[in-house]
Structure 1
Amino acid sequence: MTINWKKVWLIILIVILSFAALILLFFQTFGFYRVSGTSMEPSLKNGGTVTLLKWDHSPKPGEIIVFSHGSYHFIKRVVAIEGDTVEGKNNTVYVNKKPLKEEYLKTKPSFQDFGPVKVPENAVFVLSDNRTNSLDSRDMGPIVKDKIRGVLIAY
């Protein structure tokens, strides 16, 4: 029995190219970021790693996103979407005049009043879970969806 080396090398080449294509697809679909800072505590810990789905640029309220602002990437929670009006008063966030239920927070954060802000088309309003000392839409304004890198799927 003779070995057809052309077929063997063709199979090896196909396996290598398939593996390379899968790796490329994986990294085009998923992103990995290291949490830097305490702005999302208690949900995300400083130094932890998060995984996001890069293709999702239409997050829903309550989801955590990664977005770029200037030369930095931020990880924040979406609290309002386009068309919503968001306001913070007396340490409570209101979306469309209804108090926001934030079960993900262990303690109610204290923060300065803000708004009301109507979220423009093609944008979201984000807040940190730890609102005492953090940059979010209260400072940066609503986040345009083009700046969203993805929605967290594992943290």
Structure 2
Amino acid sequence: MKVLKQVWNWFGSIAISFILVVFLGVFVFQSTKVMGHSMDPTLHDAQRVYVSKLSHTFNYEPNYEDIVIIDSRVELKRTFKNDLMDSPLLSLFIKGDDKHVWIKRVIGKPGDRLELKDDKMYRNGELLDEPYINEAMRANGNKQWTVPADHIFVMGDNRNNSMDSRIIGFIPLDHVLGKKLF
């Protein structure tokens, strides 16, 4: 009887620890790995980054130049189930595809008018100072975007090798899963 009680106590402790780790990973903090070279030279392939999930939990709008993780499936309506499935701990037990989680930099916020002109980015008519980009951008022509309400525009720092808002469009704020801490 004593052994059974001890096993039950161990099981309870492990279950509580598991729930706490999942809670922290979904709502507060998680680590993620950079996949690819779209954020070179700032972040490198296979580098581990730590992300605050508080902006997603409390619906904070990110700031310009913040590095954020996003759900690139912009047509998908995000639910709590998506948040659970994107949790690193649960992904150990439930095989999922995390290729939709991208790391990018915030270039435009709701209401901003963005313009790609002569291989340079402008926000609301002002040339962006972007010392973090990998190399001069080589764009195919000039383009303009106006960021709609409740969306952001993101780009990789390696502009010539990045899938970002130029291709998939604006990112709904509920698809901003977190902000890079370090």
TM-score range, shorter chain: 0.7 to 0.9
- Where does residue 35 of structure 2 map in the other structure? 36
2:167 to 136, 139, 148: 139
Q: Normalising by structure 2, report the TM-score.
A: 0.69
- Where does residue 25 of structure 2 map in the other structure? 27
Q: Secondary structure of 2:21's match? A: helix
Q: Residue deviations 1:79-107, cap 9 Å, x none?
A: 01001011111111000010011122354
More helix by share: 2
Q: Which 5+ residue runs of structure 1 have no aligned equivalent?
A: 1-8
Where in structure 2 are the equivalents of 1:101-120 lying within 5 Å?
101-105=129-133, 107-120=135-148
Q: Residue deviations 1:56-113, cap 9 Å, x none?
A: 1411110011111236111110001001011111111000010011122354333334
Counterpart CA distance in 1 for 2:141 and 2:165 is 13
Sequence identity (%): 30
Counterpart CA distance in 1 for 2:101 and 2:121 is 24
- Where does residue 4 of structure 1 map in the other structure? none
Q: Which 5+ residue runs of structure 2 have no aligned equivalent?
A: 1-5, 74-98
More strand by share: 1
- Where does residue 103 of structure 2 map in the other structure? 75
- Where does residue 55 of structure 1 map in the other structure? 54
Question: Are the equivalent residues in 1 in contact too, given 2:134–2:157 (CA < 8 A)?
Answer: no
Question: Are the equivalent residues in 1 in contact too, given 2:118–2:141 (CA < 8 A)?
Answer: yes
Counterpart CA distance in 1 for 2:21 and 2:50 is 16
Structure 1 residues 140 and 89: CA distance shift in structure 2, 3 A: same
Question: Are the equivalent residues in 1 in contact too, given 2:71–2:100 (CA < 8 A)?
Answer: yes
Instruction: Determine if the alignment matches structure 1 residue 46 to structure 2 residue 45.
Output: yes
Counterpart CA distance in 2 for 1:63 and 1:149 is 13
- RMSD in angstroms over aligned alpha carbons? 2.4
- Where does residue 92 of structure 1 map in the other structure? 120
Question: Are the equivalent residues in 1 in contact too, given 2:153–2:165 (CA < 8 A)?
Answer: yes
- Computing the radius of gyration over CA atoms, which structure comes out larger, 1 or 2? 1
1:64 to 51, 56, 67: 67
What number of residue pairs does the alignment pair up?
144
